[in-house]
Amino acid sequence: MDIERALKSTLDRFGRVDVLLNAAGINSGTPFFEIEESEWERILDVNLRSVFLACQIFGKQMVEAKAGSIINISSASSGPPLSKVFTYSVTKGGVNQITQFLAREFAPHNVRVNAILPGFFPAEQNRKLLTEERVAQIMGHTPMRRFGESRELVGAAIFLASENASSFVTGSILRVDGGFMSMTI
C-alpha cells in the first residue's frame, strides 16, 4: 500500500513521524439524483478513506512513539452542508468525526488530532463551481468579503503542528474562513 511505503520512507529518512497532514480532496457539483455510485465511491475514497487509512497507519506509529500531531483538512461544507456538493460535504463531515474520535482515543498517548476548516480558497477542484452567482453568494456570507489565500492556511497548520504552540489542543476544528461559519442571516 502506498501509505505504508510513505511511512517506511519517512521512518528511513527521519527516524520518526512528527506530523501527519491529511489534505487530499476532490469535489463534484453533480446533482444528488444524478450521482453515480462510481463518483460516490471515488470521492469517498479520496476524501475520507485516505484520511482513515493515513490516520490508522501513521497514527499507530505516533501512538507507539507517544508523540505526534495529526492535522486533517475539513471544509466549510462539512456542516451545515453547502448546496451543490453533496458527496464532498458528506466526506468532510466524516473527516470532522474522525478528527474528534481519534483526538479522544490518541490523547492518552500524547498524540494530538485536529482539523483545519477552510472557508473558500479557490483551487483547481472548485473553480468550475464558482459561477458569478455562487461567488456573490459566498461573498455575501463571508464577513471579510474575500477569498482566502493559501498562506493563511499555513499559519494554522504550523500552530497545530507545533508542540510548543498547541500542546493542549486536540479535537479542535480550527476555522480559517473569513467569518463564513459565523454568519446566519
| Domains defined along the chain, listed by start | 2-7+20-177 (3.40.50.720)
DSSP secondary structure letter of residue 33: G
DSSP bridge pairs for 22: 72
- Contacting residues for 149 by C-beta, under 8 A, at least 6 apart: 121
How many CA atoms, within 13 angstroms, populate the side-chain half-sphere of residue 146?
5
| pLDDT tens readout for residues 21-71 | 999 999 888 999 999 999 999 999 999 999 999 999 999 999 999 999 999
Percent of the chain with pLDDT over 70: 96
Confidence of residue 139 (pLDDT cuts 50, 70, 90): confident
**Which three three-digit cell numbers place residue 64?**
507507539
**Residues with catalytic function:** 88
Question: Nearest Cα to 20, choosing from 80, 70, 67?
Answer: 70
DSSP secondary structure letter of residue 36: -
